[in-house]
Structure 1
Amino acid sequence: MWGMIATWRMALEGVEQSRTLLANHQSAGDAIEEAIKAVEDFPYYKSVGYGGLPNEEMEVELDAAYMDGTSFDFGAVCALKDVANPISVARKLSKQAVNNVLVDQGAKAYAQKEGFEQKEMLTDRAKIHYHNRLVDMKQEQLVPYAGHDTVGMVALDAHGQMVAGTSTSGLFMKKKGRVGDSPFIGSGLYVDSQIGGASATGLGEDIMKGILSYEIVRLMKEGKHPQEACEIATFSLEQELIARRGQAGDISVVAMDHQGRWGSASTIDNFSFVVTTETEGTVVYRTKRDGQRMEHSVADQEWLDRYLADRMQPLVVRKEGEDE
């Protein structure tokens, strides 16, 4: 049995490419890296890789992580600039005995030394988003932060090996050097080939408070189905945050166990995820919350087409007083 699950519709094309790898009994590690690279390379997905939205100083700082569920090898980069594929750098770091997590200039120096592609990651389209957000903030008293759709994946290969990976540009207009949950083991991702794996997306500052991905794997270890584990962990954390702090940020998760069973939960209404398995093919699901339970429905072609069209529509620089 083999399979893969990933956050958001934006993962679809990458997951479909990696389905071929998994069907040919290639490794979960190769499948995860190639699927995430496809998202990183697509300029119209504004929360990951090339075209990712910048920080408040209009710099694109990228975070990524890779974890091997068999060896527990782990690598991550934080606030990496001007490198095409952070997930590949994170995977390379996971093979090191030490120095597995590198940040900012240290991460960039390592990537340069190892020959990873250097690339200006700030696109003209992202600059327009940045400018228009400044206009919006002046007119509507908006907070700068918006857009934190991490791509996170868990893969199981035909050999029973499991891997998890994440990649993101983080919060739009974040403080320089800000890092969320995505590159942190236990929060943004966690995987154990004997149990299963999970990955999270949403407001990293809140996800880290519950070490959410590890908690989902822990619940699966106790015998919970991935769907039940996702629901228990996600909604328990949400309730705890509200009880202690009065509010909770957006939280969404995906998980797959070592049998290829999967699950997902979200505190928001517009979360989507992609699943491919040996028996199911590749399917995009949309989620709807019903109390402490989730209802998943297959996304129809009209929604899939609109999703991509919305993200690829032309942008214009707005002036103060102009409507969006």
Structure 2
Amino acid sequence: MPTRRDFLKSTLMTASALAVPSIGAAATTEPAQRAAIPARAGARVVSTWDFGVPANRAAWALLGPGGKALDAVEAGVQIPEADRANHSVGLGGYPDRDGHVTLDASIMDGDGRCGAVACIERIVHPIRVARRVMEVTPHVLLVGEGALQFAREQGFHEQDLLTPEAEKAWHAWMKEAKYRPVPNSENRDYHQSLGLPGGKHNHDTIGMLAVDAHGHLAGACTTSGMAWKLHGRVGDSPIIGAGLYVDGEVGGATSTGVGEEVIRNAGSFLVVELMRQGRSPQEACEEAVRRIVKKRPDGAKELQVGFLALRRDGAVGAFAIQHGFTYAVCDADSQDRVFGSPSVYRTSFN
């Protein structure tokens, strides 16, 4: 016989679904549960996008032999940070409209400790600086010149982050000088319109979450932010509770896409709190995305936001506004699995 709690849970889930504006033929009809990765005993690491595969491998090199989740996520995200071919994270990232490559990063342990840097220049691995902020200062977030000064004091090597390819793209963009955040694969068409190779280039943060063999959780998030942004713009990635949030008693969440929308909804914190209330990782990610869509009924089709969640027991969920968001999962069974996330819209973009 159904209990009062079951009835209330069912009612709340139904009300949530009804609160979203009708999205017609563009809506996905594929059940969200198909994307959910079930729980498993032991360590597991997950990360956003297909470039999360090599990042996961680096994390697993520490996590698999029984290492700590915090060390694993820090090591893992350094792979895309140092990848010159990745134009949305670290070295090789596209600059702002003034030609500056500025980076954002955050790291968080399941015990609540966290650190972040924002709008930092000349440092290839901002995630390492973020961890030092967490470990040796009483602060959570350092920005701009102050973040760079701290990195220098901590002995970090400086170098020019603007690669020849990124500089070429910037000069091509300057001919039009029009900012347009474009989701996922539409970036290929946009990028090719500048006479450059296609790919995902504009706002594809890497967020990584891990649970180790001892059940401890940690997460990291790092990005060069939106290409051609206003100088000084900071997205959700270094904002604890927006781009990243981890609670060792519950799980963790991270986000990708248009950071302003995630910040306005405290997105990753929301996902974790929904899991605390009993939602599965999949249900929590879906609800967080749908709240963004509800607040932007006329503009959501032009935006991409995706959430990825990892519960303490290893269960995984993901959901996005636009079709095309992918995530990578690595555990003792497999190191190279990539999954497509279900989404609100399926037909707007490839």
CA distance in 2, matches of 1:167, 1:97: 20
Give TM-score scaled by structure 1 length. Answer: 0.84
Q: CA deviation at 1:144?
A: 4.8
**Correspondent of 2:161 among 121, 126, 149:** 121
Q: Please name the residue that 1:268 is paired with.
A: 322
Q: CA deviation at 1:20?
A: 2.3
Q: Please name the residue that 2:179 is paired with.
A: 143
Cα deviation digits, residues 209-252 of structure 1 (max 9, x gap): 1101001000111111111111111112221232xxx3233111
**Correspondent of 1:183 among 232, 238, 248:** 238
CA distance in 2, matches of 1:241, 1:208: 14
8 Å CA contact 2:53–2:335 kept in 1: the answer is no
Q: Give the letter aligned to residue 247 of structure 1.
A: G
8 Å CA contact 2:217–2:251 kept in 1: the answer is yes
8 Å CA contact 1:260–1:277 kept in 2: the answer is no
Q: Please name the residue that 2:213 is paired with.
A: 158
Q: CA deviation at 1:189?
A: 0.5
Give TM-score scaled by structure 2 length. Answer: 0.78
Matches within 5 A, 1:230-269: 230-242=285-297, 246-248=298-300, 249-269=303-323
CA distance in 2, matches of 1:281, 1:74: 27
**Correspondent of 1:107 among 134, 144, 147:** 147
Q: Please name the residue that 1:3 is paired with.
A: 44
**Correspondent of 1:287 among 341, 344, 348:** 341
Cα deviation digits, residues 75-98 of structure 1 (max 9, x gap): 110100001100000011111351
Q: CA deviation at 1:145?
A: 4.4
Q: CA deviation at 1:116?
A: 1.3
**Correspondent of 1:58 among 99, 114, 117:** 99
- RMSD (Å) for aligned C-alpha atoms: 1.6
CA distance in 1, matches of 2:116, 2:344: 35
Q: Give the letter aligned to residue 109 of structure 1.
A: Q
- Asked if 1:86 is matched to 2:86, the reply is no
Q: CA deviation at 1:174?
A: 0.7
Matches within 5 A, 1:187-226: 187-226=242-281
SS in 1 for 2:218: strand
Percent sequence identity over matched residues?
33
Higher relative contact order (CA 8 A, sep 6+): 2
- Asked if 1:18 is matched to 2:73, the reply is no
8 Å CA contact 1:44–1:51 kept in 2: the answer is yes
CA distance in 1, matches of 2:95, 2:137: 32
Q: Give the letter aligned to residue 317 of structure 2.
A: G
SS in 2 for 1:33: helix
Q: Which moved more, 1:144-153 or 1:25-34?
A: 144-153
Q: Give the letter aligned to residue 18 of structure 1.
A: A
Q: Give the letter aligned to residue 178 of structure 1.
A: R
CA distance in 1, matches of 2:239, 2:326: 22
Q: CA deviation at 1:25?
A: 0.6
CA distance in 1, matches of 2:54, 2:68: 18
Q: Please name the residue that 1:322 is paired with.
A: none
Q: Give the letter aligned to residue 136 of structure 2.
A: Q
SS in 2 for 1:20: helix
Q: CA deviation at 1:173?
A: 0.8
**Correspondent of 2:75 among 34, 47, 64:** 34
8 Å CA contact 2:322–2:344 kept in 1: the answer is no
8 Å CA contact 1:93–1:99 kept in 2: the answer is yes
SS in 1 for 2:45: strand
Cα deviation digits, residues 114-142 of structure 1 (max 9, x gap): 0112121110010111122223x27xxx5
- Asked if 1:172 is matched to 2:208, the reply is no
8 Å CA contact 1:145–1:174 kept in 2: the answer is no
Q: Which moved more, 1:103-112 or 1:280-289?
A: 280-289
CA distance in 1, matches of 2:329, 2:144: 33
Q: Give the letter aligned to residue 122 of structure 1.
A: L
